[in-house]
Amino acid sequence: MLHSLPDEDTLYKALIKKDKDYEGLFIVGVKTTGIFCRPTCTARKPKQENVEFFKSTHEALMHGYRPCRICSPMEFKGEVPEWLKPLLDEVSEMPGIRLRDYEIRKRGIDPARLRRWFKQHHGITFQSYLRSLRIGKAFGRIRFGDKVIEAAFESGYSSLSGFTETYKKTVGTTPGKSQNLNIIKVTRIPTPLGPMLAGANEDGVCLLEFVDRRMLETQITRLRKLLDAEFVPGDNKYFPMLNKQLKEYFEGKRKCFAVPLILKGTSFQEKVWRELLTIPYGITRSYQEQAEHIGDIKAVRAVAKANGDNRIAIIVPCHRIIGKDGKLTGYGGGLWRKQFLLDHETSNK
């Protein structure tokens, strides 16, 4: 299990002093820059209200921070082998890079060896690390997104081209083309199972996924096309309701959700997802039973695939679908989360 951190005042004092005794004990995330550092980083120290502390680099990555280039928190002194340093430098320069196994081999590195090293030192695989960097690059400052956007739009520009460029980077299109653009606001919601990425427009919630899910980037791309929308960090009128209801769910106080949902997919997918909403809290069904409920007993595999394509975890309870033999099979957030959710609902029925 992870260690417990000292109180924040103690951690902040250690950060200011660059106390070497705290090296490896905590990681600090700087809210104003979106980076995370080791305690001994030589960069200018932020104010205490602008930092938050984490137990591991993995935790910092999952909250959308990216590694500092000055102190290189993904590298620990005496632990980074020479064969790995060039690759880490390359990733640091290009945080959006994608590297498949054959590309890693071209760099003279055994992918299996690389996976083992990252698992041992950071608790994640190398590919998970790359995904975290890409998600962090896109959404790392979600909690501060509105302030950033507001500052860009209200600070005043000396040229129209400067404003247009900022607008395009933020919204994804030029001001003249954005009148009919569907904007999906996104935010992070902390849960006992790790942070989740939520997305919503004026009609309801269209995305709720754990930030470390492999398919997250794919789901965002699909939603962008299906809803003809762009994702923008910020607030939405449904986020307070969603946050409150998720908190009540994990506290065992809520069995049904009342947040408006957008279930956009093929007619078959939508049929499966709406049927999922009818499964009572604390009850499970097999994929075959789910196929029978939608009136197509031969569609077991198609039902399983539609479950896997569900973009609104927990609320659209695909975790309540299990194998015919009672075993847990398939869950985008990981089987350990599926087991947790089923145990949680069973104990609170």
Catalytic residues: 318
Do β-strands 27-30 and 35-37 pair in parallel, antiparallel, or remain unpaired?
antiparallel
H or E segment at 30?
strand 27-30
- Tokens matching residue 247: 């908190």
Q: In this structure, how many other beta carbons lie within 10 angstroms of the beta carbon of residue 24?
A: 13
Sequence letter at residue 111: P
* 92 secondary structure, DSSP code: H
H or E segment at 273?
helix 267-276
Cα distance between residue 43 and residue 292, in whole Å: 61
Q: What is the DSSP string of 4-72?
A: PP--HHHHHHHHHHT-GGGTTT-EEEETTTTEEE-TT--SPPPPGGGEEEESSHHHHHHTT-EE-TTT-
Cα distance between residue 34 and residue 68, in whole Å: 9
- Tokens matching residue 172: 């994804």
Measured in degrees and rounded to the nearest 5, phi and psi for residue 244 equal -65, -45
- Name every residue whose Cβ is closer than 8 Å to that of residue 345 and which is 6 or more positions away in sequence: 255, 281, 282, 320
Measuring CA to CA, how many Å separate 315 from each of 68, 137, 182, 319, 333?
Answer: 36, 27, 23, 10, 14
45 closest CA partner among 24, 7, 65, 71: 71
Cα distance between residue 38 and residue 85, in whole Å: 18
Cα distance between residue 51 and residue 68, in whole Å: 14
